[in-house]
Structure 1
Amino acid sequence: MARSNEAEAFFYAVYSAVQEIPYGKVTSYGHIAKLVGFPERPRQVGVCLKHLPIDPQARHNNYNVPWQRVINSKGVVSPRSQPSGSQIQATALRAEGISVQTGALGELTVDLAEYGWFPRVLPSAVDEDDDMSEQ
């Protein structure tokens, strides 16, 4: 089924925003939603990442959008639809030097105080003289 223009624009905005997350950092679904102007849509950010094309010829794909850098707001790697999905994400994060710990209930966690990236606005939307840090 074809996406509406609005949905296509949202997917594009999410993928472009995720591409701005620095190597070795993570952010949350909710923060990406806020950065693209839809703070009420963190679950839809997850849907976008779930449907990220694996075709390397696609403009945004599994290789050029660092999907692994998006976790939940508690610092937990969200369970995936496939049983090993969270382990795959944890492995990709560890490859970037991000420490992923296993919690008491088996959940995979990242210390947001150390690895979190939460700018007020996307770097691409900031003039060089502006401060983009969270206040």
Structure 2
Amino acid sequence: MAKPPKKGRGDEPEHAPALAPTASPEGRRAALYLVLAQIPAGKVTSYGELAALAGLGRAARWVGRTLSQLPEDTRLPWHRVLGAGGRLSLAAGTASGEEQRARLRAEGLTIRNDRVDMRRHGWHPMEPNN
């Protein structure tokens, strides 16, 4: 009898093998940036999901801090990373919050009550045609 797929926190499958606990900060950032660069236009993911996909475990807060330190001229799609449940965590009225909203709308996403519908726009790279 086949074993069921390994599960992570809750009912979410684990997406990538965890990096070694001794991975350098540069290695952790490289893993994060590699996955971040793959999020297609019109799709979003959460900080926690991005951490899991990059093999960083439950490092949602670390992902948020790391993304906040990206240079202004970065080409990485930081605006496609949201809080849990599709919540926009950058405050409306701030330069970065308004830029995120403008970029998401330009990609065809609808924002309602500072949230994006994750069922409609969520990025699930393990599924076909995503």
2:122 pairs with 1:116: yes
Deviating beyond 6 angstroms after TM superposition, the runs of 4 or more aligned structure 1 residues are none
2:53 pairs with 1:46: no
2:65 aligned partner, one-letter code:
V
1:6-61 CA-to-partner distances (Å, cap 9, x unmatched) read 11111111111111001110001001100111221111111111111235xxxxxx
Measured in 2, the distance between the counterparts of 1:110 and 1:87 equals 15
2:95 pairs with 1:95: no
Measured in 2, the distance between the counterparts of 1:49 and 1:39 equals 16
TM-score by length of 1: 0.70
- Partner-residue secondary structure (3-state), 2:115: strand
**Gaps in structure 1 of 5+ consecutive residues:** 56-61, 120-131
Aligned to 2:46: 28
Partners of 2:90 and 2:96 within 8 A in 1: yes
Number of residue equivalences: 106
- Identity, % of aligned pairs? 38
2:123 pairs with 1:133: no
TM-score by length of 2: 0.73
Partners of 1:14 and 1:48 within 8 A in 2: no
Deviation of the 1:79 alpha carbon? 2.5
